[in-house]
Amino acid sequence: MLKLRGVVSKCFFLRRHISALYITGDKANENYVTLQPFLDFAGTFRDRAVLEQSIARRGLAIDLEEMLTKYATYQTHHEQLLRLEEERDAITKELKLLTKSGGSAAQLEELRARGKVLRNEVKALKQSLYPIEDDFIHDFLHLPNGLHSHCPQTNVEKLIYRHKTPPAVEQPRWHLDRKELVHFVDNNRYYMMEKAAHFDVDAMQALARYFVTHGDFVQTSNPDFVRCVLLEANATPLSQYHLVREEHLLNKLNTAYLTGGGAFESFLGTLTKLCVYPSVLPLRYVACGRSYNREEALAYGPTPSLYTATQTNAVQSLVATQTEADADAALEHVLNLAIDFYKSLDIPFRIVYVTAERLTPAESLRASIEVYAPSLKRYVCVGRISNYGDFVSKRILFSTRRDKHYDFLHLVGGPVLYTTRLIAALIELGVKLEASKLPGALQLGPSVQAMSQHQRDLQEFKDLFK
């Protein structure tokens, strides 16, 4: 088990004043530009009422009127700069023509003088535009995605599926009492043992295999560390993950964060600046890995437990589609696969659309998969699937080519399983930790539970070459 406190820094930023996603020219000397996002001003401000509704329902402290004023100022300066650049280009072309046609020295000198004046004017205007651009663009990047029509209109989550009702237990079990299965130190350190350790790995692998064999997904392996530029592209609060201390950091703005290979953001590096043909869509990916999210479980505190642990094994999914309708179908497809998995456990669970105030700015809709936890007397999230629309794709330049036109892809994805919380709930519900009855578990082999650790390691190595 990774000891987080020895690897990462405890400090983090709630909101930075300088962005790694958009770097203005005056800062480009110290920090290279990793990614230049597509800024859709016209599309974002086209329907002001929809944008205002998204901001209000999410409970964001954004003054849209002030931002539109900044946008007008930015647009005025930008248009003035374009006019000067066009005039400079025209003078350059005219100089070349006069030089070839043998123009008089006076004409050439006059044009050169005008060119120098324009060059100085452009330089001065750029210097005055940088703080205006910096102020407006960074505020613009904090604007949220539009809300999906299925997102609850009120502050009450919307139930879309439920399996079994919660049991009525006066004195529920407490999962940490099972010392032979869990050795819990704190939220950063815990150790699964015996059947819990086997189930932790087997359930994750079984679900991933089920997605591959029954959902037409491709399994990938993602990095544990993600650069800040990708977190900002996904509008992920930087406080969710641990900032990594780097001795030799080339770009001070684009720091690294420990997310785990089971985090949605770990997919984004592969998709950045990628253009695919429509014939390969939809793209379906699934990955197993760790997830190190220290904010998600705060809702299940304050008592430290497996429900509040900052790290867990996870199964992460991602689907890229061409249209909004395809994205809706992809979300339903992923949810159906997840329902098959959780129904096989025969435990009380439900799927709900969460309220707008619980969404990140990039999400337009989120379906939360929740299992009942007897000790907390409430449902806990063991997975979630989100619809991001083309919000993230515009920021990472993930597109498809159609004739001579480029369309940004719609993304659907999220962790369909957090093993740590699921194991805690299963222990309290009195369910045996056996992965053999899970969908996809048959491919683990008939005697996998009886194998020694050496045999299991050897089998996993052999599976790499299948």
What is the rounded CA–CA span in Å between residue 283 and residue 280? 7
Virtual torsion, Cα 241, 267, 425, 457, nearest 10 deg: -110
Helices in 216-351 by DSSP H: which ranges?
228-233, 265-271, 324-343
94 is in an annotated binding site: no
- Beta partners for residue 161, in sequence order: 351
Indicate the burial class of 364 (C-beta count within 10 angstroms; 0-12, 13-18, 19 or more). Answer: buried
- Cβ atoms 411, 333 nearer than 8 A: no
296 is in an annotated binding site: yes
- DSSP type of residue 397: T
* Tokens encoding 255: 């720091």
- Cβ atoms 433, 198 nearer than 8 A: yes
What's the alpha-carbon Rg for the chain, to the nearest Å?
Answer: 27
Q: Which of 366, 331, 333, 307 is nearest to 157 (CA)?
A: 366
> Taking the mean position of all CA atoms in its chain, how far away is CA 450?
38
CB count in 10 Å sphere of residue 110:
12
What is the rounded CA–CA span in Å between residue 270 and residue 287? 13
What is the rounded CA–CA span in Å between residue 413 and residue 54? 21
- DSSP type of residue 165: P
- DSSP type of residue 345: T
294 is in an annotated binding site: yes
- The annotated binding site is made up of 294-296
- The annotated binding site for ATP is made up of 294-296
- The annotated binding site for L-serine is made up of 294
